[in-house]
Chain A
Amino acid sequence: MSATLDQIFVLIKQWIVSFLPVAWQPVAGILLCVAAIVSVFPGLFAFTVLLERKGLGRMQNRIGPNRVGPFGIFQPIADGIKSLTKEDIVPYSADGVVHFLAPVVLVVAVFLGFAVLPMGRNMVLVDVDASLLFYFAIGASTELSVFMAGWSSRNKYSLLGAMRAVAQMISYEVPLLMSSVAIVMMTGSLSLVKIVEVQNHYSGIFPHWFIFTPWGFVGFVLYAVAATAETNRSPFDLPEGESELVAGYFTEYSGFKFALFFLGEYLAMFSISGLGATLFLGGWSAPFSFLTWIPSWVWFFGKVMTSIFVFIWMRGTLPRLRQDQLMNFAWKFVLPLTMINLFDAAIWRFLGEGWLRWVICSTILLIAYIGMGRIGMSRKHFGPRSYRYAE
């Protein structure tokens, strides 16, 4: 029973495909998977927007949306209808073609990332050899769409927002990649399916997830920081800082194109959380060996939604960084620590089994963290803030 439930989507797909002639079956199967991805994640997006507005409201001591339906649960539907029926305004001086293409490129690129994520046992759209590389290659091309949006709007705020966004995304892409390289070193494979399989073993009741090793834990924290910056979420949401830039690179977008940017941003959050879960949190594997009867896709989506909740929580808690703080943090703290973490993973690999590697690897990382933090802080001079231009 639990095996059937575990594979229910795969079985449904095979059942639907079996009605078609044999020649069409592979293509139909792929189309069905694509349709599932394209419908499930926007549905999850609608739910997440509601969750975010309600959750943020709770954290800020207010009620949040409560007018549409019981407890406001139909708010996303109302928002969707509103953005569909709104007038689509393109500024007079905007560059029409690029202005139109930017949200399309963003959403397409973000959707492509889902193709390689294993969302459950046997539930991956394309199982290529180098799926991790594919994911990062596709992720890198979203920067271009952000630039296209900012530049084509012919608006100072848009262009400034786009410049900030691109600079931030390039800076944090390096630690994002480097923290995942440690995983590749340990598994010896770039295939996400294989990375999950390696973690899907248990000692006693505890799983072999990479987060339960010193280098994996540090790697996960660094990955989470870089992923937050990569998706332009608070506290790294400078590119769309309302108090400074109106809405950043999508200031001049309205109607459904704005909704597409919104969708792209949330989909990027889902996919980067999914990748983080796959790399460090064991993907679709259960957290305890006696819980393996629960379907694998429940675990994957559970882990993704937990990460989303942490994203929302951070947004409700932390203030926004300043541009120079953002850059200093990326290049002077996060990046060196990922390098040290990479060395640490190598040491872990060659020390072999035993308690010795736990002590040595944890000590190295602890010393690096404290030492770099101390050195970084000792250069700072706290005092009245000096304004260079605003006085």
Chain B
Amino acid sequence: MSFAFYLISAISVAGGLAAVLLKNTVHCALALTVVFAGLALLFLQLDAQFAGFAQILVYIGAVAILVVFAILLTKGSETPKDGVFSKTWLAGLAVAAAVFAVFGWTVLQSGAVLPHQTATPQVTVAQIGTALMGRYVLPLEIVALLLTAALIGAVIIAMHEKPENNEEEVAK
């Protein structure tokens, strides 16, 4: 547990709290991005280069943008007058605490179950690539197929349907 770990954790936790507590939805989305960045830094601190860079590329580069677009393009993005906090916050708190307790318990128990590892495993990006293309090629292909299907489905839902009698090219 180094100084860097505590610094990154503090940033991530602060970002997470801000994402929950801020009133403006776009601010919440930006705070969530800080959490993503903190997670990526944690991965990098553990020498997991691929996971860290993929986290930045996918979550900050794509998911965060998607979230802010979704907020801006849907109705009700304006902050309501009577506050943004739900009336059933007590139940939400209980569920969140239960989930946190399960995770915490699992993490604490894992030390006893797993054999104590002294050396940090050296996993390079090349090894991950070889594993994905060799042993795990079928799951990879299935995921690729699923994502392609989702993409085509999204395009079909968003497609502008052409009027029957109009000959001209309809702008997208």
Q: Interface residues, chain A, CB within 8 Å of chain B?
A: 95, 98, 128-130, 133-134, 136-141, 143-144, 147-148, 151, 159, 163, 166, 170, 173, 188-190, 324, 327-328, 380-381, 386, 388
- Please tell me if the beta carbons of A129 and B49 are within 8 angstroms of each other in the complex: yes
- Complex Cα distance, B26 from A328, in Å, reads 30
Of B26, B33, B168, B171, which one neighbours A151 at CB under 8 angstroms? Answer: B26
Taken together as a complex, chains A and B put the C-alpha atoms of A95 and B172 apart, in Å, by 32
Note all chain B residues with C-beta closer than 8 A to A134: 49, 53
Please provide the 10 A-B residue pairs with the shortest distance between their CB atoms, ordered closest to farther: A140-B61, A137-B56, A137-B57, A133-B53, A130-B125, A137-B53, A141-B60, A130-B49, A129-B125, A324-B172
Establish whether residues B50 and A130, one from each chain, have CB atoms under 8 Å apart when the complex forms. yes
Beyond contacts A129-B124, A137-B54, A140-B56: 4 other A-B pairs, Cβ-Cβ < 8 A, are A137-B60, A137-B61, A144-B60, A151-B68
* Residues from chain A with Cβ under 8 Å of B26 in the complex: 98, 151
B residues 43-80 near A (Cβ < 8 Å) are 49-50, 53-54, 56-57, 60-62, 64-65, 68-69, 72
CB pair B169–A381 under 8 Å, yes or no, is yes
Minimum CB distance partner of B124 in chain A:
A129
CB distance A140 to B50 under 8 Å? no
In the complex, whether B23 has a CB less than 8 A from a CB of chain A is no
* Most B Cβ at <10 Å: residue of A133, A188, A189: A133
Q: How far is the CB of A183 from chain B (nearest CB, A)?
A: 14
User: Across the two chains, which residue of chain A brings its CB closest to B170?
Assistant: A388
Taking a contact as CB atoms under 8 Å apart, the answer to whether A189 and B168 are in contact is no
Residues of B contacting A166 with CB < 8 Å?
A: 65, 69
In the complex, what residues of A have CB within 8 A of residue B56's CB? 137-138, 140-141
Task: Tally the A-B contacts, defined by beta carbons under 8 Å.
Answer: 74
12 A–B pairs (Cβ distance < 8 Å), ordered by A = A129-B49, A130-B50, A130-B125, A136-B57, A137-B57, A140-B60, A141-B56, A144-B30, A147-B68, A151-B72, A190-B126, A324-B171
Cβ of A324: which chain B residues have Cβ within 8 Å of it?
A: 171-172
Name the one of B27, B61, B124, B171 contacting A98, with C-beta atoms under 8 angstroms.
B27
B169 and A128 contacting across the interface, CB-CB below 8 Å: no
- A140 with B57, Cβ < 8 A, contacts A324-B172, A380-B169, A381-B169 known: yes
| B30 smallest CB distance to A (angstroms) | 7
A148 is contacted by which of B24, B30, B69 (Cβ under 8 Å)? Answer: B30
Task: Determine the distance from Cα of A388 to Cα of B15 in the docked complex, in whole angstroms.
Answer: 45
Knowing A98-B27, A190-B125, A324-B172, the reply to whether A133 touches B33 (Cβ < 8 A) is no
Given A128-B49, A190-B125, are A144 and B65 also a contact pair (CB < 8 Å)? Answer: yes
Query: A147's contact among B27, B54, B65, B171, by CB below 8 Å, is which?
Result: B65
Interface string of B15-54 (1 = CB under 8 A from A): 0000000001011001001000000000000000110011
User: Which residues in A have their C-beta under 8 angstroms from that of B124?
Assistant: 129
Whole-angstrom CA separation of A129 from B60 in the bound complex: 21
Q: How far is the CA of A133 from the CA of B126 in the complex (A)?
A: 12
* Complex CA distance for A286 and B146, rounded to whole angstroms: 45
A133-B57 contact, Cβ under 8 Å, with A144-B64, A148-B30, A151-B26? yes
Given A140-B60, A141-B60, A144-B65: A388 and B53 within 8 A (CB)?
Answer: no
Q: Which residues of A contact B49 (CB under 8 A)?
A: 128-130, 133-134
Closest to A138 in B: B56
Minimum CB–CB distance for B40 against chain A, Å: 8
B62, A170: Cβ atoms under 8 Å?
Answer: yes
Q: What separation, in Å, do the CA atoms of A282 and B56 have in the docked complex? A: 28
Smallest CB separation, B70 vs chain A (Å) = 12
* Most B Cβ at <10 Å: residue of A95, A138, A147: A147
How far apart are the CA atoms of A386 and B168 in the complex, in Å? 8
Known pairs A129-B124, A140-B56, A190-B125; A388 contacts B62 (CB<8 A): no
Asked whether, in the complex, the Cβ of A143 is within 8 Å of the Cβ of B169, the reply is: no
CA distance A137 to B68 in the complex (A): 19
| Interchain nearest-CB distance for A141 vs B (Å) | 5
Residues of B within 8 A of A141 (CB): 56, 60-61
CB of B125 within 8 A of CB of A327, answer no
A128 contacts across to B, CB distance below 8 A? 49
A299 to B169, CA, bound (A): 48
- For A173, list chain B residues within 8 Å (CB): 61
The interface residues of chain A lying within 8 Å CB-to-CB of B54 are 133, 137
Q: Is the CB of A381 within 8 A of B168?
A: yes
Q: Which residues on A sit within 8 Å (CB–CB) of B172?
A: 324, 327-328
Q: Which residues of A contact B27 (CB under 8 A)?
A: 95, 98
Shortest CB-to-CB span from A323 to chain B, Å, is 9
Q: How far is the CA of A170 from the CA of B54 in the complex (A)?
A: 16
The residue on B at minimum CB distance from A135 is B53
* Distance of A129 Cα from B49 Cα, bound (Å): 8
